[in-house]
Structure 1
Amino acid sequence: MTVSLESQSTGLGERPKEKIRLKGVEETLFCTLLPKARDAERPNPVLGDPYASRLIESCDVDLTRSTFQAVDNDRAIRWVVNRSMTFDRWCRDFLQKHKSEPVTVLYLGCGLDCRVHRVKPGPDVRWIDLDRPMVVDLRQRLIPQAPEGDYYLRILDITATGWMHDIPADRPTLIMAEGLFMYLTPELVESIIRELVEYFQQGEIFLDTVSNLYVKYTDHVEPLKASGAKWKWGTDDAREVQKFHPRLRLLEHVRSADYMGKKAFGQSQVPLFGNNVSGVLKMVLASLSSSNSAFGQNARFEFARPESDSSAETS
């Protein structure tokens, strides 16, 4: 393993730019990376991710495309960085709670997010970042050095049955799915979560959701249009995920309204339909629906072994 991002004196931005060949859902990783980069460039950043700007500068990608322009604004930046900050906080809390024992962290659809570098897990943490082949290849080229410790970057298709069965289930496990499940069908989301709970038996799951309104009108969501990606799963109450498995219990539920504000006519919402006149009018109409305020929920669940299994281990 070579040099970490922090110790590269020239910075990633001075390296030859990488050609980007991502399409569809994979391309949307820049819709979260760009707002983090914009936040980091500000005098008083919220997330303050020191890696995002360097990664953006290292990519030969047209940021003037509608896909990226739709998230290059104050409201989109606020949404993305506060979501990531919430996940970072929960992750640190999980690691602190289990500081006296080894744990596993599983980051599904990690993209180019550098949470493992921001959180800096300790030596008893097995951290596994997972994504599709082209994303993993890009990540390896842009981030040439993995963090110190028990770290793995894996190519895995989470839509395949039994995809996690070669990952050890010998520790409490944190599973993070940020900006992922909304691209899968409702049936697949429930199936994956049920399988995770059954296989790992003890740990926590972090996820975020879009609301039913934006699934219904996904073809009008500006950051998705050019890439062809679709939002397929949403909920107006993320707490309903508890119904997927009897062992799931909600620990914390944060709505984007908690950090976006509550201005009238959608003025505190991410301008998902664009900033032109048509997009603004669509956003005003969307604000009349109760489903609109349910956009951008972050939920933290815990799950544990059945009591019969726990008692058998201690007897």
Structure 2
Amino acid sequence: MAAERVHLTEEKATLLATLYGRALDARSPHPILGDTLAAQVVERIDHDFARTGITRRSAASVAYRARFLDGWAAEFLTAHPDAVVLHLGCGLDTRVHRLDPPPGVDWYDVDYPEVVDLRRRLFPERPGYTTIGSSVTDLAWLDQVPADGRQVLVIAEGLFYYLDATLGRELVRRIVDRFAGGELVFDALGRLGLRLQVLNKPVRQAHAKMHWAIDGPQDLLSIHPRLRCTTMLSALDMTDPGLPVGFRVATRLMKAVPGMAKAAAFYRLEF
């Protein structure tokens, strides 16, 4: 099978970095996520992944972020085995294959048309799984998803900070308006976190630009009166023995810096 040549720029190019991070983790002696499909997909892409800026050390944080959000998603699907899932800005994430949702779940992966075309060439099909090729902020794509009273799970990993804040807020508002109820699970960066991205090599390598800063639940709950924040967890409060020792030491040191707790966080919202 011929290797796939990939030409992506700016924020779209960051999906290659996260894919490579999950692949490096899968190849490690003690994987955190164990995403073997990601490792297989990397082998099928004609690209110099060393240029993404991901190293074995940074791959651990990529894998840990994915595993953490997988945990929240799995909890929701256990409670709602007939849910609708909207995986926004899915990139080349293997989440639907990792979680292997129940047969009653309808799962939608949404990303730019060129990204979805690449997914269709690289990933196997599965029942109950649909891809939608669209910018997530071009809200016409929502018409392709039935609003039939079922609970909806919205997953947005590594996405919101790349969106224009006004368009991102409208996306969330329209989703809450359209569906009977559900959850949003995602990671976000505060204003300090956005400024610190000058130190993020994969972001610099891709020449990606970030726009939407979220400094706490108050920045989200104003979007819609039905939204409730059930969990906000600073990335600095997350510990795992599988993370490299140097990473855990750096986290403890950063917690002592004023404002750093809001720099990056995970959110779980209900509506």
Q: TM-score, normalised by structure 2?
A: 0.88
Q: Which runs of 4+ in 1 moved over 6 A?
A: 263-266
Kept in 2, the 8 Å contact 1:82–1:259? The answer is no
1:190 matches 2:176: no
Whether 1:72 and 2:51 are equivalent positions in the alignment is no
Cα drift, residue 214 of structure 1: 3.3
What secondary structure sits across from 1:244 in the alignment? coil
Q: Could you tell me whether the CA contact under 8 Å between 2:193 and 2:264 is conserved in 1?
A: no
Q: Which letter does structure 1 place at the counterpart of 2:34?
A: G
**Per the alignment, in what secondary structure is the counterpart of residue 49 of structure 2?**
coil
Seq. identity, %: 34
The answer as to 2:214 corresponding to 1:235 is yes
**For the residues of structure 1 that align with 2:247 and 2:13, how far apart are their CA atoms?**
30
Tell me whether 1:134 sits opposite 2:114 in the alignment. Answer: yes
**Counterpart of 2:47 in structure 1: which amino acid?**
V
Higher CA-based Rg: 1
Partner of 2:41: 55
Deviation at 1:126, TM superposition (A): 0.6
Task: Give the Cα separation in 2 of the matches to 1:82 and 1:111.
Answer: 17
Equivalent residue for 1:244?
223
RMSD across aligned C-alpha pairs, in angstroms?
A: 2.4
**Cα deviation, residue 38, structure 1:** 1.2
Q: Which amino acid aligns with 1:53?
A: A
Q: Which amino acid aligns with 2:19?
A: L
Alignment of 1:96 with 2:90, yes or no, is: no
- Unpaired stretches in structure 1, ≥5 consecutive residues: 1-14, 270-283, 304-315
What SS class does the counterpart of residue 198 from structure 1 fall into?
helix
Q: State the one-letter code of the partner of 2:268.
A: R
Cα displacement (A) at 1:63: 2.0
- Counterpart CA distance in 1 for 2:112 and 2:233 is 28
8 Å contact from structure 2 (residues 227, 270) kept in 1: yes
Residues 264 and 23 of structure 1: is their aligned pair in 2 closer, same or farther, counting only changes over 3 Å?
A: closer
**1:90 corresponds to which letter in structure 2?**
W
Hey, what's the Cα distance between the residues in 2 that align with 1:94 and 1:287? 30
- Return the alpha-carbon distance in structure 2 between the equivalents of residues 35 and 217 of structure 1: 20
Report which stretch shifted further, 102-111 or 230-239.
230-239
Is the 1:265–1:288 contact (alpha carbons within 8 Å) kept by the matching residues of 2? no
Q: Pick the structure with more helix per residue.
A: 2
Q: What's 2:188 paired with?
A: 209
SS in 2 for 1:300: strand
AA aligned to 2:28 is: R
TM-fit CA distance, 1:93: 0.7
- How far off its partner does 1:82 sit? 1.5
SS of 1:254 mapped into structure 2: strand
* 1:101-124 Cα shifts (integer Å, max 9, x gaps): x22111011111111111111111
Equivalent in 141, 144, 152 of residue 166 of structure 1: 144
What are the equivalent positions in structure 2 for 1:269-308 lying under 5 Å apart?
289-303=257-271
Question: Are the counterparts in 2 of residues 239 and 250 from structure 1 also a CA contact under 8 Å?
Answer: no
Instruction: In structure 2, list runs of 5 or more residues that go unmatched.
Output: none
Aligned length: 265
TM-score normalised by structure 1 residue count: 0.77
What do residues 66-108 of structure 1 show as CA deviations (whole Å, max 9, x unaligned)? xx22x3142x223211111111111111111113xx2211101
CA distance in 2, matches of 1:127, 1:115: 10
Alignment-derived partner of residue 179 in structure 2: 200
